[in-house]
């Protein structure tokens, strides 16, 4: 008895014997003709058109089409699908020429990924000023949450007890980062003697870097090791008590007196892996590293040549020297596997930080009239370096916090632009931080076309003491982000975090820029924000951490917006940070981070 529906008649067997070669041929034809792009191209779509492109021609779209590593199209799903098929026809002329009905069977379909209706897509986020390896270093012994010197000691005790190799060897160095005396009762600097109050720490080699990276607090054992100390340090300060005895505090250039571990590639890899993991989870696809030594650049170069870097890196080379050192670092453009490493800029320093009284001011500090801060490099020396680097084709990025530092650097840039044949677009000189400027220099920054690279979280971290330190008049030109943007002829204002000085999550900067509030929702001026006239709009803030950051790194043609032909770097967020109430912005989570069209964190499904 035959099975139901089975036909074993001689006639049927004869038909199948004659027809199976044709069926096989058609099946093979389907395989041969199906374009390779069918399995690689995809469209990611938002039913609510919540894809924020940062492209003025099409600021919001329903879909973006990814082909290989690039954005091939943007628009409504119906339109991009039609154009996608037209492109396939032109690239594969025989694709739709099979006889009916096989032409329908063979016709490819565009793979569509639909994000959740509550989700949005933004271009890959960029941090225009950060410190990659310092972040990894800080996270292994993070002192940021310590509210007093005693809490630091408690933290160190736990750390030593949990690391037997340090516990059993008092010659091992204990290094950490993140303390901030401005958060402590009395806001006084700590002392080397503080460590001796804890028996487990007494006699150990301890060096702790302040949160801003511009001061270090060391133990008495370290002071013994580096004695005798010079009376003065050019561009730095050894803090001393009333008897002239060092207290264990070293500011800016004086920090170079403290021994440091030799560079280690294994340690660098440990720190970099931690940074990259946290950065991708936060939606960062590109980072401008604001101080890369030759050893660090060589580390990244070798790493990029053996594997694809997990995110795009734009490095600012740095050598601690008053003599020209451009020949000590390599020039790299989209280098390595996937072309994710670029080195075409240098980082110079003028002053220190406001929190450690190192920012160079035109007039004395309001809360410490004995000082006007520290110029880490003299103007003539700095001017010679800027000119030499510019002539040699390097972009120059200069750390400036105080109004004196900014004024000096603007003088240097103005002289360079007026008296040479350089164009501003060719040089794209940057001021890193542009934190405190006179009103005239705010305008001059824009008039010259100098790029101010700012960090909005610095405003909301410093706002609790900045006005006491600067006074009611100078504060008007401090953290003046909207004023800097309005002055810019191209409205360019790249945003960063300066992590690990601030948190690595770029939404912290976005929130600070648009609210001028602490993460708790308050400010010295109340819930309306600290000097709210200097807030950025959400559109301006998003552009600052995408397209403006790309412009500041000469990559606006390939990065920074979801535009046809640019790299397929984008981030999926679980809520619309462009429209939700301000207090909900920091609740947003990254569901996917995509670089070159591939999800490197989370997934698109």
Instruction: For residue 14, give both structure tokens.
Output: 């004869």
pLDDT of residue 420: 80
When comparing pLDDT for 261 and 219, which is higher? 219
Where residue 102 falls among pLDDT bands split at 50, 70, 90?
low
Query: How many C-beta atoms lie closer than 10 Å to residue 219's C-beta?
Result: 23
Structure confidence by residue, pLDDT tens digits, 20-47 = 444 434 444 444 444 444 458 999 999 9
- Looking at residue 33, its pLDDT comes to 46
In whole angstroms, give the CA distance from residue 444 to residue 467.
23
Among 106-110, 139-143, 229-233, 588-592, the range scoring the smallest mean pLDDT is: 106-110
Q: Share the mean pLDDT of the chain.
A: 93
Residues 362 and 403 sit within 8 Å (Cβ to Cβ): yes
Q: Looking at residue 419, what is its pLDDT? A: 83
User: Would you place residue 99 in the very low, low, confident or very high pLDDT band (cuts 50, 70, 90)?
Assistant: low
Which of the two residues, 98 and 154, has the higher pLDDT score? Answer: 154
Q: What local confidence, expressed as pLDDT, does residue 98 receive? A: 57
Percent of the chain with pLDDT over 70: 91
Domain ranges of the chain: 31-114, 132-257
Q: What is the pLDDT of residue 40?
A: 87
Distant-in-sequence, close-in-space partners of 255: CB < 8 Å, separation ≥ 6: 214, 215, 216, 236
Backbone angle region of 475, left / alpha / beta, with phi > 0 → left and psi within -120 to 50 → alpha? alpha
Provide the pLDDT confidence category of residue 568 given band limits of 50, 70 and 90.
very high
The domain defined by 31-114 folds into: Urease, subunit C; domain 1 (2.30.40)
CATH number of 132-257: 3.10.310.70
Residue 118 has pLDDT above 80, yes or no: yes
Taking each helix axis from N to C end, the angle separating 265-281 and 132-140, rounded to the nearest 10 degrees, works out to 90
Helices (H), 260-402: 265-281, 294-306, 379-391
Question: Average pLDDT for residues 371-392, to the nearest whole number?
Answer: 97
Bridge pairing between strands 60-61 and 125-130: unpaired
Dihedral sign from CA coordinates of 555, 556, 557, 560? positive
pLDDT above 80: residue 300? yes
pLDDT of residue 422: 86
Per-residue pLDDT of 181-191, as tens digits, reads: 999 999 999 99
Answer whether residue 510 shows pLDDT above 80.
yes
- With CA atoms as reference, report the closest residue to 258 among 216, 320, 196: 216
Q: Is 567:560 a contact under the CB 8 Å cutoff?
A: no
Confidence band for 1, pLDDT divided at 50, 70 and 90: very low
- Position 27 scores a pLDDT of 44
pLDDT per position as a tens digit, 382-396: 999 999 999 999 999
pLDDT at 92: 78
């Amino acid at each position: 008895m035959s099975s139901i529906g089975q036909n074993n008649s001689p006639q049927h067997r004869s038909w199948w014997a004659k027809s199976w070669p044709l069926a096989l041929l058609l099946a093979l034809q389907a395989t041969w003709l199906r374009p390779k792009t069918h399995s690689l191209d995809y469209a990611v779509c938002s039913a609510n058109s919540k894809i924020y492109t940062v492209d003025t021609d099409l600021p919001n779209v329903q879909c973006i089409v990814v082909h290989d590593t690039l954005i091939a199209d943007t628009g409504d799903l119906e339109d991009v699908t039609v154009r996608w098929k037209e492109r396939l026809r032109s690239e594969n002329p025989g694709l739709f020429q099979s006889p009916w009905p096989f032409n329908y069977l063979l016709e490819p379909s565009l793979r569509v990924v639909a994000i959740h209706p509550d989700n949005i897509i933004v271009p890959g986020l960029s941090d225009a000023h950060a410190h990659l390896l310092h972040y990894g270093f800080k996270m292994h012994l993070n002192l940021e949450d310590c509210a007093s010197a005693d809490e630091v000691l408690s933290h160190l005790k736990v750390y030593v007890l949990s690391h037997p190799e340090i516990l059993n060897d008092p010659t091992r160095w204990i290094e950490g980062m993140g303390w901030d005396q401005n958060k402590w009762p009395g806001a006084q600097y700590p002392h080397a003697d503080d460590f001796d109050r804890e028996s487990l720490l007494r006699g150990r080699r301890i060096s702790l870097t302040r949160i801003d990276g511009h001061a270090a607090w060391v133990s008495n054992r370290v002071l013994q090791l580096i004695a005798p100390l010079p009376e003065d340090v050019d561009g730095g300060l050894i803090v001393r008590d009333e008897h002239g005895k060092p207290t264990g505090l070293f500011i800016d250039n004086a920090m170079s007196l403290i021994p440091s571990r030799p560079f280690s590639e294994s340690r660098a890899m440990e720190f970099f892996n931690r940074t990259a993991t946290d950065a991708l989870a936060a939606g960062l696809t590109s980072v401008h590293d604001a101080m890369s030594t030759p050893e660090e650049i060589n580390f990244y170069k070798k790493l990029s040549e053996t594997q694809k870097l997990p995110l795009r890196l734009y490095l600012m080379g740095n050598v601690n020297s008053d003599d020209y050192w451009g020949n000590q670092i390599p020039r790299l453009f989209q280098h390595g596997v996937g072309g994710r490493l670029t080195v075409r800029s240098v980082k110079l320093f003028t002053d220190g930080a406001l929190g450690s009284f190192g920012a160079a001011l035109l007039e004395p500090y309001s809360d410490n009239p004995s000082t006007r801060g520290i110029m880490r490099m003299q103007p003539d020396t700095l001017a010679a370096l800027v000119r030499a680097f510019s002539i040699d084709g390097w972009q120059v990025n200069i750390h400036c916090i105080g109004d004196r530092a900014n004024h000096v650097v603007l003088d240097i840039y103005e002289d360079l632009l007026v008296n040479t044949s350089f164009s501003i677009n060719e040089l794209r000189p940057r001021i890193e931080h542009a934190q405190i400027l006179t009103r005239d220099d705010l305008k001059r920054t824009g008039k010259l076309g100098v790029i101010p690279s700012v960090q909005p979280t610095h405003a909301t971290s410093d706002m609790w003491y900045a006005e006491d330190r600067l006074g009611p008049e100078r504060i008007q030109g401090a953290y003046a982000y909207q004023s800097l943007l309005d002055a810019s002829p191209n409205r360019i204002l790249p945003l960063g975090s300066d992590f690990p000085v601030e948190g690595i999550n770029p939404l912290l900067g976005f929130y600070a820029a648009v609210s001028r509030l602490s993460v708790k929702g308050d400010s010295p001026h109340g819930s309306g924000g600290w000097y709210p006239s200097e807030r950025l709009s959400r559109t301006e803030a998003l552009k600052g951490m995408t397209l403006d950051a790309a412009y500041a790194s000469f990559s606006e043609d390939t990065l920074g917006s979801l535009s046809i032909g640019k790299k397929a770097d984008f981030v999926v967020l679980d809520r619309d940070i462009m429209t939700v109430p301000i207090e909900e912005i920091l609740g947003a989570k990254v569901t996917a981070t995509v670089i070159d069209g591939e999800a490197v964190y989370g997934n698109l499904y």
